[in-house]
C-alpha cells in the first residue's frame, strides 16, 4: 500500500491506495498521529484508490475521528468504492462520519 498525504489550505488529505490492513495500517496511524499532533483539525480520507479495508484500517479511521472530536475538528470520507463502502456500512461507520462521493465534496464538508 502507498499513502499519499496532501494539504489544501488547512485540510490534510490522506489517499491510501491498495489494501489498508494489519500490515499497512500502522504506517497510516503514524502519519495520522503526526498530523494531528501538529495541530491539524480538518481531515479527509480519500478512499477512491482503496481496494480493501480491514478492521485494523477501520480502527485508524475511528482513532482519527475520536481525536478530532476532542478538538472540535472535522473529518470526511470520500470516494468509497462499493466493497469498501460495504465494510463501513456493516461496521456502522457511515453513521459516524461525513461521507462524500468525491474529494471536492468532502473538502466542502470540512470547510
Distance CA 91, CA 12 (A): 24
Superfamily of domain 2-109: STAS domain (3.30.750.24)
The answer to whether 21 touches 3, Cβ cutoff 8 Å, is: no
pLDDT of the chain, 111 residues: tens digit per residue: 899 999 999 999 999 999 999 999 999 999 999 999 999 999 999 999 999 999 999 999 999 999 999 999 999 999 999 999 999 999 999 999 999 999 999 999 999
Domain boundaries, the chain: 2-109
Written as one string, the DSSP assignment of 32-70 is HHHHHHTT--EEEEE-TTEEEE-HHHHHHHHHHHHHHHH
**pTM for this model (two decimals):** 0.95
Amino acid at each position: 500500500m502507498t499513502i499519499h498525504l496532501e494539504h489544501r489550505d488547512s485540510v490534510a488529505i490522506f489517499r491510501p491506495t491498495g489494501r489498508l490492513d494489519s500490515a499497512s495500517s500502522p504506517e497510516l496511524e503514524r502519519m495520522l498521529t503526526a498530523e494531528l499532533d501538529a495541530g491539524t483539525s480538518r481531515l479527509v480520507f480519500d478512499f477512491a484508490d482503496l481496494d480493501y479495508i480491514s478492521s485494523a484500517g477501520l480502527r485508524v479511521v475511528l482513532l482519527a475521528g475520536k481525536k478530532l472530536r476532542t478538538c472540535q475538528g472535522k473529518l470526511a470520507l470520500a470516494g468509497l468504492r462499493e466493497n469498501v463502502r460495504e465494510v463501513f456500512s456493516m461496521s456502522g461507520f457511515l453513521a459516524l462520519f461525513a461521507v462524500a462521493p468525491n474529494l471536492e465534496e468532502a473538502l466542502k464538508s470540512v470547510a
